[in-house]
């Protein structure tokens, strides 16, 4: 089933929850709606389900407007963050529920229901637990039962609203892989809501990044990660080091770092304007001495080597920076906390904004540093950096398994 959302808007008591959202979920796709809390993800999912109605715009299922079609007729399966299992019913009864409440003509026979429940128990890998009550299951098992219950009615669309939000990090990760495999088996068109960028990037074929009731960018995971459309997407999809500087002679000047465009976009039309530089921690190169390449001196604050990469926390001109480097590179550098290193961005994004209050912003991919041409008069001074870094911690929610 293909879902088309056309220019949907929704306001709650003068508060705009969705503001002109258009997107398409193609048949059999697995799409993630990703955005911070309050960005309108749940509202959009509820509108697709028919639990909420848009003030403006339309929703189409396979090209047909579903306006006015009640939830029960839309053929959607819904899984929520908080297990909506019936506590007084066994696993078997919970899964069978959607079939048992059908009108008599549409209801399968007793043996038909039994076969369907057993087929689903096998799919969610909980065979043998059908007589348990929800209180006798772990959080991860309950969410699998919730999924089986949603699938029992053979929905045309599966809608999942932060289904793993209340589970601990390890359980989340294994359920994520499991759900991905399950989707490859059953191919039901699915929309998955999450505020966790890792979850969205790992699970979905397509990621829709939302903010303040609008879509900031949509595309395949690698595209939104490597080619963010704007500063919000860049910051939301991972940690970034943030520098403030200017554009001069078509180059980004951030203290001693001078950057040239090497990808999308153009810096020339931003001349003499304030600009921001964003560098992912893995794109910040560390050097043990200034090797002629424009770089910024920084002091090592802390080294965290327990991971696939070594996380080096640094301070440059009173500001915090983070570099993620390989263990091999770290062994070569051998710098102790308190000692100096030089940092240089391998790849970065320069953002410059024009228009009233920066209404139009360009995001330009820049490569390793290059000096400004001599006729500019003087070399830029290190004091050009006015402020540095925002590291967004990864969202890992802890809770009962």
35 binds ligand ADP (CB under 6 A): yes
Q: Select from 9-17, 134-142, 250-258, 331-339 the region that touches ligand ADP (CB under 6 A).
A: 9-17
Buried b (16+ CB within 10 A) or exposed e, 367-385: ebbeebeeeeeeebeeebb
CB of 272 to ligand ADP, least distance (A): 39
281 binds ligand ADP (CB under 6 A): no
CB of 44 to ligand ADP, least distance (A): 7
Q: In what order do the strands lie in the sheet with 206-211?
A: 76-79, 157-161, 189-194, 30-34, 206-211, 214-219
Query: Would you give the end-to-end CA distance of the chain in angstroms?
Result: 33
CB of 65 to Mg ion, least distance (A): 25
Q: Which of Mg ion, ligand ADP, none binds 150 (CB below 5-8 Å, type-dependent)?
A: none
CA distance 260 to 377: 18
Structure-block tokens of residue 248: 């001069």
Residue 333 carries which DSSP code? H
CB of 213 to Mg ion, least distance (A): 12
Q: Which of ligand ADP, Mg ion, none binds 40 (CB below 5-8 Å, type-dependent)?
A: ligand ADP
Q: Is residue 90 within 8 Å of residue 126, measured between CB atoms?
A: no
Torsion region of 29: left, alpha or beta (phi above 0 gives left; psi -120 to 50 gives alpha): beta
217 binds Mg ion (CB under 5 A): no
**Helix, strand, coil tally for the chain in percent (to 5):** 30, 35, 35
373 binds ligand ADP (CB under 6 A): no
Q: Is residue 157 within 8 Å of residue 384, measured between CB atoms?
A: no
User: Of 19, 24, 28, 38, which one interacts with ligand ADP (CB under 6 A)?
Assistant: 38
Closest to ligand ADP by CB, 44 vs 242, is 44
User: Of 40, 134, 165, 245, which one interacts with ligand ADP (CB under 6 A)?
Assistant: 40
189 binds Mg ion (CB under 5 A): no
211 binds Mg ion (CB under 5 A): no
**CA-based diameter of the chain, in Å?**
87
Q: Is residue 150 within 8 Å of residue 78, measured between CB atoms?
A: yes
CB of 14 to ligand ADP, least distance (A): 10
The residues in 53-92 that bind ligand ADP, with binding defined as CB under 6 A, are: none
Q: Tell me if residue 261 falls in helix, strand or coil.
A: strand
42 binds ligand ADP (CB under 6 A): yes
Closest to ligand ADP by CB, 20 vs 38, is 38
Q: Is residue 401 within 8 Å of residue 173, measured between CB atoms?
A: no
Structure-block tokens of residue 393: 């911690």
User: Of 3, 25, 31, 41, which one interacts with ligand ADP (CB under 6 A)?
Assistant: 41
What are all long-range contacts of 179-188, with beta carbons under 8 Å and residues at least 24 apart? 179/147, 179/203, 180/30, 182/123, 182/147, 183/30, 185/123, 186/123, 186/151, 187/28, 188/28, 188/77, 188/151, 188/155, 188/156, 188/157, 188/158
User: Of 5, 43, 151, 232, which one interacts with ligand ADP (CB under 6 A)?
Assistant: 43
Closest to ligand ADP by CB, 15 vs 334, is 15
42 binds Mg ion (CB under 5 A): yes
The residues in 284-343 that bind Mg ion, with binding defined as CB under 5 A, are: none
CB of 45 to ligand ADP, least distance (A): 8
37 binds ligand ADP (CB under 6 A): yes
Closest to ligand ADP by CB, 43 vs 143, is 43
Closest to Mg ion by CB, 17 vs 350, is 17
Closest to ligand ADP by CB, 39 vs 143, is 39
The radius of gyration of the chain from alpha carbons, rounded to an integer in Å, stands at 26
Q: Select from 10-18, 64-72, 111-119, 254-262 the region that touches ligand ADP (CB under 6 A).
A: 10-18
CB of 222 to ligand ADP, least distance (A): 24
CB of 15 to ligand ADP, least distance (A): 6
H or E segment and range at residue 146 = helix 139-152
Binding region for Mg ion (CB under 5 A): 42
Q: Which residues contact ligand ADP (rule: CB under 6 A)?
A: 12-13, 15, 17, 35, 37-43
């Amino acid at each position: 089933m293909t879902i088309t959302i056309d220019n949907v808007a929704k306001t709650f008591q003068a508060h705009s929850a969705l503001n002109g959202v258009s997107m398409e979920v193609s048949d059999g796709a697995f799409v993630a709606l990703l955005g911070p809390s309050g960005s309108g993800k749940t509202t959009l999912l509820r509108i697709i389900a028919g639990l909420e109605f848009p003030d403006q715009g339309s929703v189409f299922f396979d090209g047909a407007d579903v306006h006015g079609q009640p939830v029960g007729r839309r053929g959607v399966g819904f899984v929520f963050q908080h297990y909506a299992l019936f506590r007084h019913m066994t696993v078997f009864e919970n899964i069978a529920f959607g079939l048992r409440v059908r009108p008599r003509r549409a209801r399968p026979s007793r043996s038909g229901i039994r076969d369907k429940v057993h087929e689903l128990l096998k799919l969610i890998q909980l065979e043998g637990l059908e007589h348990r009550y929800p209180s006798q299951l772990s959080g991860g098992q309950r969410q699998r039962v919730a999924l089986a219950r949603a699938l029992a009615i053979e929905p045309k669309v599966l809608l999942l609203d932060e289904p793993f939000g209340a589970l601990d990090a390890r359980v989340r990760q294994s359920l994520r892989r499991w759900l991905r495999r399950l989707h490859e088996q059953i191919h039901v068109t699915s929309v998955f809501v999450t505020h966790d960028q890792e979850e969205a990037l790992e699970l979905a074929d397509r990621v829709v990044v939302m903010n303040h009731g609008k879509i900031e960018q949509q595309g395949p995971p690698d595209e939104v990660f490597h080619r963010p459309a704007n500063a919000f997407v860049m910051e939301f999809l991972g940690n970034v080091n943030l520098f403030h500087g200017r554009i001069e002679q078509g180059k980004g000047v951030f203290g001693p770092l001078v950057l040239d465009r090497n990808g999308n976009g153009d810096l020339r039309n931003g001349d003499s304007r304030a600009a921001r530089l964003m560098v992912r921690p893995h794109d910040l190169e560390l050097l043990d001495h200034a090797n002629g390449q424009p770089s910024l001196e920084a002091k090592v604050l802390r080294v965290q080597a327990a991971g696939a990469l070594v996380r080096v926390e640094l301070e440059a001109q009173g500001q915090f920076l983070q570099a993620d480097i390989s263990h091999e590179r770290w062994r070569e550098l051998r710098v102790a906390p308190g000692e100096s290193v030089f940092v240089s961005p391998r790849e970065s994004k320069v953002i410059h904004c024009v228009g009233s209050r920066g209404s139009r912003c360009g995001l330009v991919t820049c490569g390793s540093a290059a000096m400004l041409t001599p006729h500019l008069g003087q070399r830029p001074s290190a004091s050009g950096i006015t402020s540095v870094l925002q590291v967004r911690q990864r969202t890992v929610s802890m809770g009962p398994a």
